Amino acid sequence: MIELLQFRHSPYNEKVRWALDLKRVPHRRRSLLPGPHMAKVKKLTRQTATPVLINDGEVITGSACILDWLEARYPEPRLIPAAPDLCAAAMALQREFDEDITPRIRCAVLDALLANRRYFARIFAEAESPLSRGFYACIVPLAAPLVRKGNGISGPAAVEEGIAAAHAALDRAATQAAATGFLVGKEFSIADITVAAALATVVRPENSPMYAPRPVAPAFAALMARFARHPGADWVREIYAKRRVASADFEGTSPY
């Protein structure tokens, strides 16, 4: 059976989960803890990023590569537009967010989460037992400098740049989706999944796998409040409500 190694509440992993759920691909999902995950993932892939998809010994890394793999083997519903111009536009938008915009937004998100070690642990160790979550919370302060360095959180300027990137991305989503409700053409596509998953890290749509556990820690609540009334946030909530077929993440074997 296909296995997905993932982080909870990561936009890149959420992209893959969304596609797997839409296509109803039977698979097993295993959540890893940021930091302790490194040895396992590096052994499999010679790098340390998630998501990682494993199928009969074949290992695919990176959300874009995994989505290409899924689209080729499970073509329904189609997520990459058939028309060459729309395909090019969707893939360009995915590449721009994957390589530039999402990493900048992530600086602001991780900085706010790291302000409260217990909430950071609750977000990323959601699948663990309360005891394991408590232990992980204890090591978060030790891992925080590595998390900051590995994600380019070099200081307040990087955090402010992340906040500005989120505002700009929300502006763009609201404008670009105004005509049809979608970012590329008249159909739901990988462009919508990519942008919505990235922006879900600050919007946190209810009844979704990216919902922020309550009560929300103060620093992260303040970050969410910056974007809550933005028209682009309304688009994120709407696309999640209409197109995200799962209301929560799961651990273990898929229910379909």
Where do the structural domains in the chain lie, given as residue ranges?
2-79+249-253, 84-243
Under CATH, what is the fold of the domain 84-243? Answer: Glutathione S-transferase Yfyf (Class Pi); Chain A, domain 2 (1.20.1050)
Pairing of strands 2-6, 58-61: unpaired
**Whether pTM exceeds 0.85:** yes
Q: What is the pLDDT along the chain (256 residues), one digit of tens a residue?
A: 999 999 999 999 999 999 999 999 999 999 999 888 888 899 989 998 999 999 999 999 999 999 999 999 999 999 999 999 999 999 999 999 999 999 999 999 999 999 999 999 999 999 999 999 999 999 999 989 988 998 999 999 999 999 999 999 999 999 999 999 999 999 999 999 999 999 999 999 999 999 999 999 999 999 999 999 999 999 999 999 999 999 999 999 999 9
Task: Tell me if domain 2-79+249-253 and domain 84-243 are identical in fold.
Answer: no
What pLDDT, on a 0 to 100 scale, did the predictor assign at position 35? 85
What pLDDT, on a 0 to 100 scale, did the predictor assign at position 118? 96
> Distance of alpha carbon 111 from its chain centroid, rounded?
16
| Integer Cα distance of 48 and 117 in angstroms | 22
Under CATH, what is the fold of the domain 2-79+249-253? Answer: Glutaredoxin (3.40.30)
- Assigned token pair, 175: 């404008």
